[in-house]
Amino acid sequence: MTEQATKRTDRDDFRETSDPALDERADRGEAPLLGPRELYLLWERQHWATQDLDFTQDRIDWHERIGEEERFQRMYGLSSFFIGEQRVQSELAPLMRAVPDEDMRIFLSTQIADEARHVAFFDRFYTEVGVLESTSLQARLEETSAHVNPEFTVLFDEMLKGKADRLAVAPDDLECACEFVTIYHMIVEGMLALTGQHFIIDYNEQQGTLPAFVEGFTNVARDEHRHVAFGAWFLRHMARRDDRYREAIQRTLTEVAPVADGVLKPKWMGDAGDDAPTLFGVSVDETRAFAMQALSRRLKVIGLLAT
Ligand SMILES: [Fe+2]
Ligand SMILES: [Fe+2]
């Protein structure tokens, strides 16, 4: 990890989320987790506003300091996040109804608001910086979708949406709620989003580019750590309650892992080996190793992986 990244995730407000990935005690399965009520109170203390960000320098960087080929390569990450935030924002409501407790429901209401703010953040970045030609949010999402890869579409529009559709008609299906949280909080947010955020923020900091984007995306990452901390708490709670739920989590991890792995590799890499360094200075193997360490720490704390 670079010095800047360590400084970021060592910040008190990041550590305060209790995401096991940020706590080395999790390697021994010992990290404490906050419950939904404490995470709700933390949410009240961690607000931020997309309208406070000034993208003037980002606009100059994007058009004058970043070359055409690099802009194209950056579009994979940007598009995956913009569309991914929109998908998680629109698919979370069925879980809010399905969870078996009011404190969980209140936390999940805050998460829906967070995901809406993340969509608004990306939309504002795209608009203020002038990334695309389209003139509405819907059209910008469609225009940017050309950059994502097929595994991304399978993960979000088939696997995640399939579980949300099932929960919407069967809110008492707690096994499905566990499957949904495994895909949403452990894989999409924990393994993929936080990994992408880590490397994208790092790269911009090293290059001295897109300062307002870095500031906003750091806030997004802090929110995501809070969401993933809820997911870890929920899955530990359910796995302890019944072996059926424990098995549902394990089964889902096995089913989704190959598709999630495919999302880590942009289309533009073509046949380049997974150990080949990309323009951003890291290889697919390095991003995979980062994602797997975070996932295994969380699984140890949930009690699904031996320490
Ligand atoms: Fe988000
Ligand atoms: Fe999130």
Looking at residue 252, what is its pLDDT? 97
In a domain? residue 209: yes
Ligand nearest to the backbone CA of 185: 2
Q: What is the CA radius of gyration of the chain?
A: 19
Ligand 2 centroid, distance to 84 Cα (angstroms): 10
Looking at residue 271, what is its pLDDT? 72
In a domain? residue 17: no
Q: How many CB atoms lie within 10 A of CB 17?
A: 25
Ligand 1 centroid, distance to 224 Cα (angstroms): 6
Banded pLDDT at 282 (limits 50, 70, 90): confident
* Residue 59 near residue 135, CB atoms below 8 Å: no
Ligand nearest to the backbone CA of 84: 1
Q: For the domain that residue 229 is a member of, what is the CATH number?
A: 1.10.620.20
Looking at residue 279, what is its pLDDT? 67
Residue 1 has pLDDT above 70, yes or no: no
Ligand nearest to the backbone CA of 219: 1
User: Which tokens in the block code for residue 35?
Assistant: 């419950």
Looking at residue 276, what is its pLDDT? 80
More confident of the two residues 29 and 219? 219
The whole-angstrom separation of Cα 61 and Cα 50 is: 19
Ligand 2 centroid, distance to 167 Cα (angstroms): 19
> pLDDT tens-digit profile of 97-127?
999 999 999 999 999 999 999 999 999 999 9
Looking at residue 41, what is its pLDDT? 98
In a domain? residue 198: yes
What number is the average pLDDT over the span 80-93?
A: 97
Ligand 1 centroid, distance to 143 Cα (angstroms): 20
Question: 3-state class of 209 per DSSP?
Answer: coil
Residue 198 has pLDDT above 90, yes or no: yes
> pLDDT tens-digit profile of 127-147?
999 999 999 999 999 999 999
Range of the domain at 164: 51-302
SS (H, E, C) the chain: CCHHHHHHHCCHHHHCCCCHHHCHHHHHCCCCCCCHHHHHHHHHHCCCCHHHCCCHHHHHHHHHHCCHHHHHHHHHHHHHHHHHHHHHHHHCHHHHHHCCCHHHHHHHHHHHHHHHHHHHHHHHHHHHHCCCCCCCHHHHHHHHHHHCCHHHHHHHHHHHHHHHHHHHHCCCCHHHHHHHHHHHHHHHHHHHHHHHHHHHHHHHHHHCCCHHHHHHHHHHHHHHHHHHHHHHHHHHHHHHHCHHHHHHHHHHHHHHHHHHHHHCCCHHHCCCCCCCCCCCCCCHHHHHHHHHHHHHHHHHHHCCCCC
Question: 3-state class of 89 per DSSP?
Answer: helix
In a domain? residue 15: no
Domain count, the chain: 1
Report how far apart, in Å, the C-alpha atoms of 123 and of each of 127, 135, 136, 273 are.
6, 11, 9, 33
Ligand nearest to the backbone CA of 117: 1
Ligand 1 centroid, distance to 220 Cα (angstroms): 6
The whole-angstrom separation of Cα 278 and Cα 261 is: 17
Ligand nearest to the backbone CA of 184: 2
Of 22-26, 163-167, 252-256, least confident by mean pLDDT is: 22-26
The whole-angstrom separation of Cα 14 and Cα 181 is: 21
Ligand nearest to the backbone CA of 107: 2
Q: How many CB atoms lie within 10 A of CB 68?
A: 7
Ligand nearest to the backbone CA of 231: 2
Ligand 1 centroid, distance to 31 Cα (angstroms): 24
Residue 272 has pLDDT above 80, yes or no: no
What predicted TM-score, i.e. pTM, was given to this entire model?
Answer: 0.95
> pLDDT tens-digit profile of 231-241?
999 999 999 99
Ligand 1 centroid, distance to 271 Cα (angstroms): 30
Residue 273 has pLDDT above 90, yes or no: no
Looking at residue 268, what is its pLDDT? 74
In a domain? residue 24: no
In a domain? residue 151: yes
Looking at residue 109, what is its pLDDT? 98
The whole-angstrom separation of Cα 240 and Cα 217 is: 34
In a domain? residue 63: yes
Looking at residue 280, what is its pLDDT? 76
> pLDDT tens-digit profile of 202-233?
999 999 999 999 999 999 999 999 999 999 99
